[in-house]
Chain A
């Protein structure tokens, strides 16, 4: 079997559309993971056990079950109770919630990495809890975790093919339908692999830029 350049070339526009969908799912899912992960991390530090414990259980549960199970749950179960999203939105939410359990660990490590003396200085100055978090702790915790957080973008992007299972037309599912239509699988799968690789490399490069810009830690 030899590589048919013509067929390959013809499949590029549709594959690119699929990759765009994968990118959308990644961006949206990542935003959810960034925000929800922080919320999880903060709730898990609550002084109220009845806040802390349920959140810990939920986070452990989500982290310990496969992403695919969660995607199916969102896709098939939620509509039965009247909550309906597009497949892409459902996928992004699934990715976001799943990865929030990872980013919450990252945030937690970052928060724990802020020296106790910073909390004590905030107390000595009588800063409110809220102000202590927003002005002192998070501005020191977040730069520490930017590299780890940035790496999860790429991990999440590489998980987008799982959205195929809930009918999202992302890159891999486009490649598969192209194969089914033309009976040629070599070209679309090779191309889609190259596209994933290229985009992952670009993301890694962007991540390094973000790290350099925001990941500066001024420890004393």
Chain B
């Protein structure tokens, strides 16, 4: 499980919209006077694993939250496959999307959070079966069968009847990963999923994610300060600064030969901090 993943089989890097699974086009976001994202455009290919790095406040979380529809962009469009996330095409025009449209497009995406956000009122097994039963329409038996397999995979096959509060942070995060995968997402968003954990516990979670990267073709968008992990699993790393992508390169290049001065400075500061 600790074996590192080769990123050499990276899908071709994205050019235009054609063939992208995720497309940001001219996306802008501000909170009051604070311009967080300014005319941001980038694409992610199906099966690609992309890591977002950059200093605090550079907008990484905001990007993931927009994809999860937890934060609305002010301008621009976001596409998932051919569908617009916040818009519908009606008689050739883009109009704001209905709640049903957003739900339908959002189905392909799910997210794992920094603070796990497990449902404390449900046991572990039901945390993982709740959405498959009530969103995907699986039978209870089928959902439980799958949940058991996933929980086995993350090493928590013995904890099915525990409540989240009875688990360590690392265990909770592994349940959260199983819960996300139970939705069979096309896109998995990971926002600093180990930064609330002690290093030993974080290592266990990262191992699980490496395993998933190696064995599945789920598209991953990942914000992390675990640079070793980012190097191992990513096909591409995007360096953000002040809401813009200042460098976009495979991990080897990004970490060993960053072109941008600010990237060098940032990577230096991250290394010093760990």
User: Is this pair of chains taken from one and the same complex?
Assistant: yes
Which residues of A approach B to under 8 Å, CB–CB? 115, 117-118, 120-121, 123-128, 131, 135-136, 139-140, 218-220
Tell me whether A219 and B120 are in contact (CB under 8 A): yes
In the complex with contacts A125-B110, A127-B135, A120-B70 CB distance below 8 A:
yes
CB pair B113–A126 under 8 Å, yes or no, is no
Which residues of B are in contact with A by a Cβ distance under 8 Å?
Answer: 68-70, 103, 106-107, 109-111, 113, 115-122, 130-131, 134-135, 163-165, 172, 179-180, 183, 189
Pick the contact of B135: A115, A128, A140 (CB < 8 A).
A128
26 inter-chain pairs at a CB distance below 8 angstroms, sorted by A residue, are A118-B119, A123-B69, A123-B70, A123-B106, A124-B70, A124-B109, A124-B110, A124-B113, A124-B117, A124-B189, A125-B135, A125-B179, A126-B103, A126-B107, A126-B131, A128-B103, A128-B135, A131-B135, A135-B130, A140-B119, A218-B120, A218-B163, A218-B165, A219-B165, A220-B116, A220-B165
* A-B residue pairs, 4 tightest by C-beta: A125-B131, A121-B117, A117-B117, A124-B111
Given contacts A219-B165, A220-B172, contact A127 B117 (CB under 8 A): no
Given contacts A123-B69, A124-B111, A218-B165, 9 further A-B contacts (CB under 8 A): A115-B117, A121-B118, A124-B68, A124-B113, A125-B183, A126-B135, A127-B130, A220-B118, A220-B164
Distance between Cα atoms of A117 and B65 in the complex (Å): 12
Task: Name B126's closest neighbour in chain A (CB-CB).
Answer: A135
Closest residue of B by beta carbon distance from A117: B117
Measured between C-beta atoms, what is the minimum distance from B141 to chain A in Å?
Answer: 19
For A131, what are the chain B residues with a Cβ–Cβ distance below 8 Å?
134-135
| CB within 8 Å for A117 and B113 given contacts A126-B107, A127-B131, A140-B121 | yes
Inter-subunit contact A218/B135 (CB<8 Å) = no
Quote the shortest CB–CB distance from B164 to chain A (angstroms).
5
Cross-chain contact B68 with A123 (CB below 8 angstroms):
yes
**Minimum CB distance partner of A216 in chain B:** B121
Task: Give the chain A neighbours of B135 by CB distance below 8 A.
Answer: 125-128, 131
Known: A127-B134, A128-B134. A121 touches B119 (CB 8 A): yes
In Å, the complex CA distance between A135 and B132 comes to 14
- Neighbour of A220 across the interface among B120, B130, B179, CB < 8 A: B120
Taken together as a complex, chains A and B put the C-alpha atoms of A220 and B123 apart, in Å, by 13
Bound form: Cα–Cα A220–B110 in Å: 21
Least CB distance from B221 to A in Å reads: 13
**Which of chain B's residues have a CB closer than 8 A to the CB of A126?**
103, 106-107, 110, 131, 135, 183
> Given A126-B106, A218-B165, do A120 and B134 touch, yes or no (CB 8 Å)?
no
Q: Name which residue of chain B comes closest to A219, CB basis.
A: B120
- Give the chain A neighbours of B116 by CB distance below 8 A: 220
Interface contact A218-B131, CB-CB below 8 Å: no
